Structure 1
Amino acid sequence: MATVSKRSSLTWAVHLTTLFLVTIWVLPTLGLFVSSIRDKDQISVSGWWTALSSSTQNQIFRAPGADGQVERDGVFVISGNVLEGTAGKIATFGISSREPKAYQVGESAVLRNGAALTVQADGSFEIVSTERITSSRGQRIFYEATAPPRFTLENYHEVINAENLGRSFINSLTVTIPATVIPILIAAFAAYALAWMEFPGRALLIAVVVGLLVVPLQMSLIPLLTAYNDIGAFFGVPAKTYLGIWLAHTGFGLPLAIYLLRNYIAGLPREILESARVDGATDFEIFIKVILPLSFPALASFAIFQFLWVWNDLLVAIVFLGAGDDELVLTGRLNNLLGMRGGQWHILAASAFVTILVPLLVFFGLQRYLVRGLLAGSVKGG
């Protein structure tokens, strides 16, 4: 009974921990998506969790000047609507930034030129003067409005139609796909050799691979770039090419790939390999026909990590590929878009969600292999 109780408590702990981890991963993504489809005015004044409730916003509207007046029954009138066609309800208004809520809807505010301003709850206003209005500069109207939740796809339309975004999307795919496939191919051969082939220095090579896992990218970036430029200059290869960034990402990704695949391949049943050797298979044939099919979960799990890392990379892409319009990757293009638009949150949210769409598709397409691939060495022979 004690064993069963202990196992039950452990199971609940695992389930609760998993639920917690899933929650803290899903909530930011959900918030990002909700923010990306909210109205740009509402996203700047309230959090995404209030998206389904009405929001109160303080706004400024400038009425038309003298050109917008009409004569009616002996008085001169300027009229319009401060909400400009959007849904909402006015609560208070004012004519000065010092007192933006000085008047209730339906009340009249006396302006400096003697005219009277009246604002209604639906946003309609009238400026009435007994004398012709001469100022070309319209009156500022401060108002507090309660607006219902508004959702729109204009944020995505603005991001997707940004100049050269399609070209940057193709650049990201051109960088990411080879930079994911190449290290997998190299690491698979190296992992098989380190796992099942006997040769001098194998333990030392494994130790070097483990040591390279902790080398930060920023520390090795400049030496790698210097070596690449020197080799390229010797062979006459241009500095800013896709080959350069493929090799850079391959170098940065190989330690993790070799470590992950080596642990997985080393856990495969020895009997399978011995049976293949008895049948006359060479090491290459064993690797192609036996090891690779059995190692697909590990290959897929590393592909997820590598694809996500390369797709979201900006530093290596700018250093090895450049920041020109024809070379800029998607993350760089969206970063420039945010720079041009300042701190507009609706652009930030939509841009971020556009960026993560492809990695999400890759992750959910391969996620069933992720845990199996990470549990290296857990395969049992049958």
Structure 2
Amino acid sequence: MIGAARSPLMWVVHLSVLLLVLIWTLPTAGLLISSLRDKDQLAVSGWWTALSSSTRNDVFRAPTAEAQVERDGKFVISGNVRDSDAGTISAFGISSREPVAFKAGETADLSDGAKLTVQADGSFEIVSDTSMEGARGQRIFFTASTPPRFTLDNYREVMNASGIGASFINSLTVAIPSTIIPILIAAFAAYALAWMEFPGRSLLIAVVVGLLVVPLQMSLIPLLKLYNGVGGFLGVPAKTYMGIWLAHTGFGLPLAIYLLRNYMAGLPREIMESARVDGASDFDIFVKIILPLSFPALASFAIFQFLWTWNDLLVAMVFLGTGNNELVLTGRLVNLLGSRGGNWEILTASAFITIIVPLIVFFSLQRYLVRGLLAGSVKGG
């Protein structure tokens, strides 16, 4: 009876999980498909049409009368209305009011008595019994159907762009220390707040919780002024990696301390008491007991902190600069798009290039992430 009563609820849960998976997966799949599509097709149709032929309307102006040649007593202007990727011509016209008045292979009568024929492969001929005149060529409106095309050109354009390799190294130089430093500091602080008794501990915990709601944008300028003032006093250059490491450390510490403190506070007290009975100091307990047991929580925060620092652009621009030698990968890819977004078709390929390293980090530490999320959810009797 209990199983039967829970059955509808389980179906709701499973369907909800499936819906959430689809909501997160579909945009990613669309981004991947778009990154592999031809940029011309990407500009005129959505990724869900990637497996179907695309249709586009265009106009071509034929050569002027100077290009005509005499052939079998008639005067002919010939050429091809499409470029190499225009596909198959399905219809054409000689007026913007009727751009698809004729099917491919049919003949249209022009106003000067000449005749225009456009074939499916795009080739055309304008034939007249008399010599043609005019300073401008005939406009030919046409509809082209192009089969789906997939290519790696977008990835090649991004990878071959100048400075991509240096920016990739810059991003690694920023992200790795900016992940390790706050974890080291937060681990010590979390242990002290969880297991060491000292005056003002509750106040410090409240301050840490309060700092979680401070927006990064609000504290960015004061932190920069403080850093420049201290750096100027000590003779340290303003735009250095040390500055951005300290900035990311400051922004990441409140969350790191909060998460690690809550995790460490849930560890069994008996283990620490037994270690103290055996004469272990707080440092020994922290290094030999707390850190190994807290590795899932440390790995969980490392994933989130690395993702944040790897994808960051604002803090990097403020503390590291926008010079050609200091620009991180996200900044370099933004520059590739052009000042007005004219090369937006490479955005999809850029997105997948930037997530390669985070995916490696995530899949390497995911088992610890799951353990960290589930820790404490089940307790023994």
1:372 corresponding residue in structure 2: 371
Moved more, 335-344 or 254-263: 335-344
Deviation of the 1:266 alpha carbon? 1.1
SS of 1:44's equivalent in the other structure is: helix
Task: Give a deviation string over 1:167-194, Cα, whole Å, max 9, x none.
Answer: 1111111111111111111111111111
Which residue type is aligned with residue 234 of structure 1? F
1:268/1:379 contact within 8 Å kept: no
Distance across 2 between alignment mates of 1:344 and 1:101: 31
Task: Report if aligned partners of 2:81, 2:122 keep a CA contact under 8 Å in 1.
Answer: yes
User: Distance between the aligned counterparts of 1:148 and 1:114, measured in 2?
Assistant: 36
Q: Which residue of 2 aligns with 1:295?
A: 294
Alpha-carbon distance in structure 1 between the residues aligned to 2:204 and 2:221: 24
* 1:82/1:379 CA distance change after superposition, 3 Å: same
Q: What is the 5 A alignment of 1:184-195? A: 184-195=183-194
1:325/1:135 Cα in 2 relative to 1: closer, same or farther (>3 Å)? farther
Q: Note the C-alpha offset of 1:57.
A: 1.4
Residue by residue over 1:266-300, the C-alpha shift from the partner in whole angstroms, topping out at 9 and shown as x without a partner, is: 11112222222233222212212221111111111
Output aligned runs, 1:313-332, within 5 Å: 313-332=312-331
Seen in structure 2, the aligned counterparts of structure 1 residues 125 and 258 have a Cα distance that, compared at 3 Å, is: same
After superposition, the C-alpha distances for 1:8-40 in whole angstroms (9 at most, x for unaligned) are 444333333322222111111100000111111
> Which deviates more from structure 2 when the two are superposed, residues 366-375 or residues 283-292?
366-375
Change (3 A) 1:68 1:271: farther
Deviations 1:118-141 (A, max 9, x none): 111222222334556676865443
Please say if residues 264 and 375 of structure 1, whose CA atoms lie closer than 8 Å, have aligned partners that are also in contact. Answer: no
What is the alpha-carbon distance in structure 2 between the residues aligned to residue 351 and residue 131 of structure 1?
56
**Percent of counterpart pairs with the same letter?**
76
Q: Which residue of 2 aligns with 1:89?
A: 88
| Structural mapping, 1:71-82, within 5 Å | 71-82=70-81
Greater CA drift, 176-185 or 133-142: 133-142
- Partners in 1 of 2:132 and 2:339 — Cα distance? 39
Alignment partners' CA distance in 2, 1:157 and 1:65:
39
Instruction: Give the 3-state SS of the residue equivalent to 1:143 in structure 2.
Output: strand
Question: Retained in 2: the 8 A contact 1:180–1:307?
Answer: yes
Partner of 1:183: 182
SS for the counterpart of 1:144 is strand
Partner of 1:46 in structure 2?
Answer: 45
Q: Alpha carbons of 1:164 and 1:128: their partners in 2 closer, same or farther (altered >3 Å)?
A: farther
Tell me if structure 1 keeps the 8 A contact 2:336–2:343.
no
Cα offset, 1:90, TM superposition: 1.6
1:277 counterpart residue number: 276
Q: Please report the TM-score for the alignment, with normalisation by the length of structure 1.
A: 0.91
Q: Separation in 2 of the partners of 1:295 and 1:62? A: 71
Matches of 2:295 and 2:137, distance apart in 1: 69
CA drift of 1:117 comes to 2.5
> Residue 189 of structure 2 aligns to which amino acid in structure 1?
A
Match status 1:101 vs 2:100: yes
Report how far residue 105 of structure 1 moved. Answer: 1.3
CA 1:224–1:103 in 2, change beyond 3 Å: closer, same or farther? Answer: same
Instruction: Give unpaired runs (5+ residues) of structure 1.
Output: none
Cα 1:138–1:374 change in 2 (3 A) is farther
Task: Give 1:76 deviation, angstroms.
Answer: 4.0
Count of residue pairs the alignment pairs up:
381
Q: Which amino acid aligns with 1:161?
A: N
User: 1:69 deviation in Å?
Assistant: 5.0
Q: Name the residue aligned to 1:168.
A: 167
Aligned mates of 2:364, 2:133 — CA distance in 1:
67
CA distance in 2, matches of 1:330, 1:284: 39
Tell me how large the CA RMSD over aligned residues is: 2.4
Which letter does structure 2 place at the counterpart of 1:91? S
Q: Does 1:209 align with 2:208?
A: yes
SS in 2 for 1:79: strand
Q: Distance in 2 between matches of 1:107 and 1:32?
A: 41
CA gap 1:60/1:311 in 2 versus in 1, 3 angstroms: farther
Partner SS, residue 339 of structure 1: coil
Amino acid at match of 1:369: Y
2:154 matched to 1:155? yes
**1:252-271 residue pairs with structure 2 within 5 A?**
252-271=251-270
Distance in 2, matches of 1:66 and 1:337, equals 42
Whether contact under 8 Å (2:73, 2:129) holds in the other structure is yes
Counterpart residue identity of residue 143, structure 2: E
Q: Provide the C-alpha distance between the structure 2 equivalents of 1:66 and 1:279, rounded to a whole number of angstroms.
A: 103
Cα distance in 2, alignment partners of residues 365 and 164 from structure 1: 28
SS in 2 for 1:146: strand
SS in 1 for 2:120: coil
